[in-house]
C-alpha cells in the first residue's frame, strides 16, 4: 500500500512526533509498504504520492527526541502556514495516512475534519472524538457526567482569567490542550501558582488547575476494542514530565504492572469506559492515578499515543504478544475498516 506517515507540524510535541513517525515509517516499510514520511509543516515540492516517494531520501529513519521542547518561533519564521506545501494533495493520493502527529491541529480534530471533507482515510480517531479528548476541560466534564473518576479541577480562561484564591494545594497546572506533559507544573504553595499559570500560558491561554491525586501512575492502551495490559510509570526523579518521558533511562516502566489481577481488571475496564465515552477510534491510551485505597482517577486520554523508543503503547502491545511492526500494521488495517474510525 501507499502510506503517508504524517509527522512533525508546528506543535510543541513536534520532536516527539518526528521520532514516532520515523519508527512507524520504518516498520511499515519492513511490512512491504511504500511508506512516505511527510512533515505536516514543511510538506514537499512534489504534488503526488509517487513523486514525493521517489524524491524521499532513503535515510535510516531515526530521530532522537531532544531533552527540551523545540524552538517553534524559529520554525514559524520559515512560514506562517500550519499545513505545508502539497500535504493535502499527497495524502489524498495515498491509500491511507498514518497520523504520527502529536498536539495542535494534528490531534485536536481540525486536521481530521479537513481529511473527512477531502475523503482522506487516516488512522486513529475522527474529528469529534479528537476534539473531546484533546480539550482537557471537555474530557473531564464528560467523564464526570459518565461517572468516571477524574481529579477535581478549575479552568482559568483568558477572558476571565483570575486565579482562584481558594485553590487547594498541592495542585497540577497544565495547558488545556497540550500533551506530552508540555507546560505542566506541580505546585505546592500559593507563591508558585502564578508562575506555573504563566508557564502553561506559553503554550495555550486556557489553563487547567487540577487536584493532585497522590498514588501510582498507570496507563492502559486500547486496541480494536480491547484493553492492553496496564503499564506502571515510575520516574526516577520528579514527575513524568517531558524529559522523563522521552529520555531513555529516566523512567522505569513496568509491564505487565505488578498489581493484583482485580486491580488490573478494574484499570482495563475503566480505560474501555473512557475510550467509549469520548467516542475514540481504533486505538488510544488512557492515563490513570491509582490511589492507595484502590480508586483509579483518569487524567486524560490520548487519541494518537506516542510510538517513540520510550513510548508506552508499544510496550503494552509487546506484553500482549504484539510486536512494534505488527502494531503498526494492525493500526493501518483498522483504519481501512468502515467502522475503524468514528467521527
pLDDT tens digit at each of 343 positions of the chain: 999 999 999 888 889 899 999 999 999 999 999 999 999 999 999 989 999 999 986 555 667 777 777 777 777 777 667 899 999 999 999 999 999 999 889 999 999 999 999 999 999 999 999 999 999 999 999 999 999 999 999 988 876 657 777 788 999 999 887 765 677 889 998 888 988 888 888 888 889 999 999 999 999 999 999 999 999 999 875 666 555 566 667 788 999 999 999 999 999 999 999 999 999 999 999 999 999 999 999 999 999 999 998 899 999 999 999 999 999 999 999 999 876 455 4
The whole-angstrom separation of Cα 189 and Cα 170 is 7
Alpha carbon 315 to chain centroid distance? 15
Looking at domain 2-122, its CATH class is: alpha beta
Around 261, how many Cα atoms within 13 Å sit in the side-chain half-sphere? 0
Report pLDDT for 53: 95
The whole-angstrom separation of Cα 29 and Cα 21 is 12
User: Active site includes 285?
Assistant: yes
User: Active site includes 326?
Assistant: no
- Among residues 13, 69, 264, 266, the one annotated as catalytic is 13
User: Active site includes 180?
Assistant: yes
Cell of 39: 512533515
Residue that is written with C-alpha cell 505488578 in the block? 258
Are the C-beta atoms of residues 169 and 187 closer than 8 Å to each other?
yes
**CATH 3.30.1490.20 domain locations along the chain:** 153-211
Report pLDDT for 250: 75
- Among residues 61, 216, 268, 285, the one annotated as catalytic is 285
The whole-angstrom separation of Cα 289 and Cα 291 is 6
User: Active site includes 300?
Assistant: yes
Domain spanning 133-148+214-321 has what CATH number? 3.30.470.20
**CATH 3.40.50.20 domain locations along the chain:** 2-122
The whole-angstrom separation of Cα 223 and Cα 276 is 12
Report pLDDT for 297: 97
Cell of 36: 512516505
Are the C-beta atoms of residues 288 and 282 closer than 8 Å to each other?
no
Report pLDDT for 156: 85
The architecture in CATH of the region 153-211 reads 2-Layer Sandwich (3.30)
Cis check for the bond before 256: say yes or no (omega within 30 of 0): yes
3-state secondary structure of 166: coil
Cis check for the bond before 242: say yes or no (omega within 30 of 0): no
Taking the model in full, what pTM does it have?
A: 0.91
Query: Where are the extended beta strands (E) located within 58-156?
Result: 96-99, 153-156
**CATH 3.30.470.20 domain locations along the chain:** 133-148+214-321
User: Active site includes 306?
Assistant: yes
User: Active site includes 246?
Assistant: yes
Which residues are CB-neighbours of 260 under 8 A, at least 6 positions away? none
Amino acid at each position: 500500500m501507499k502510506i503517508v506517515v504524517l509527522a512533525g507540524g508546528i506543535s510543541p510535541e513536534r520532536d516527539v512526533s518526528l521520532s514516532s513517525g520515523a519508527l512507524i515509517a520504518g516498520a511499515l516499510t519492513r511490512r512491504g509498504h511504500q511508506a512516505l514520511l511527510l512533515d505536516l509543516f514543511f510538506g514537499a515540492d512534489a504534488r503526488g504520492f509517487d513523486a514525493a516517494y521517489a524524491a524521499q531520501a532513503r535515510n535510516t529513519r531515526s530521530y532522537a527526541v531532544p531533552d527540551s521542547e523545540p524552538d517553534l518561533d524559529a520554525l514559524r519564521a520559515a512560514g506562517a502556514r500550519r499545513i505545508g506545501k502539497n500535504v493535502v494533495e499527497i495524502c489524498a493520493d495515498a491509500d491511507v495516512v498514518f497520523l504520527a502527529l502529536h498536539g495542535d491541529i494534528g490531534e485536536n480534530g481540525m486536521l481530521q475534519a479537513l481529511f473527512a471533507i477531502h475523503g482522506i482515510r487516516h488512522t486513529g480517531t475522527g474529528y469529534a472524538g479528537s476534539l473531546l479528548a484533546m480539550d482537557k476541560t471537555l474530557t473531564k466534564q464528560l467523564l464526570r457526567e459518565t461517572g468516571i473518576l477524574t481529579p477535581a479541577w478549575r479552568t482559568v480562561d483568558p477572558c476571565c482569567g483570575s486565579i482562584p484564591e481558594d485553590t487547594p494545594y498541592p495542585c497540577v497546572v497544565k495547558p488545556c490542550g497540550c500533551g506530552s506533559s508540555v507546560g505542566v507544573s506541580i505546585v505546592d504553595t500559593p507563591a508558585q501558582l502564578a508562575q506555573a499559570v504563566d508557564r502553561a500560558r506559553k503554550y495555550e491561554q486556557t489553563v487547567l488547575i487540577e487536584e493532585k491525586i497522590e498514588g501510582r501512575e498507570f496507563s492502559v492502551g486500547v486496541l480494536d476494542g480491547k484493553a492492553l495490559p496496564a503499564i506502571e510509570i515510575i520516574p526516577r526523579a520528579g514527575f513524568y514530565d517531558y524529559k522523563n518521558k522521552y529520555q531513555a533511562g529516566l523512567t522505569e516502566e513496568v509491564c505487565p504492572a505488578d498489581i493484583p489481577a482485580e486491580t488490573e481488571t478494574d484499570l482495563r475496564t475503566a480505560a474501555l469506559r473512557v475510550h467509549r465515552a469520548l467516542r475514540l477510534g481504533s486505538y488510544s491510551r488512557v492515563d490513570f492515578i491509582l490511589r492507595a485505597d484502590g480508586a483509579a482517577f483518569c487524567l486524560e486520554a490520548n487519541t494518537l499515543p506516542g510510538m517513540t523508543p520510550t513510548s508506552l503503547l508499544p510496550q503494552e502491545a509487546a506484553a500482549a504478544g504484539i510486536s512494534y511492526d505488527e502494531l503498526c500494521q494492525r493500526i493501518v488495517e483498522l483504519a481501512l475498516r468502515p467502522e475503524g474510525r468514528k467521527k
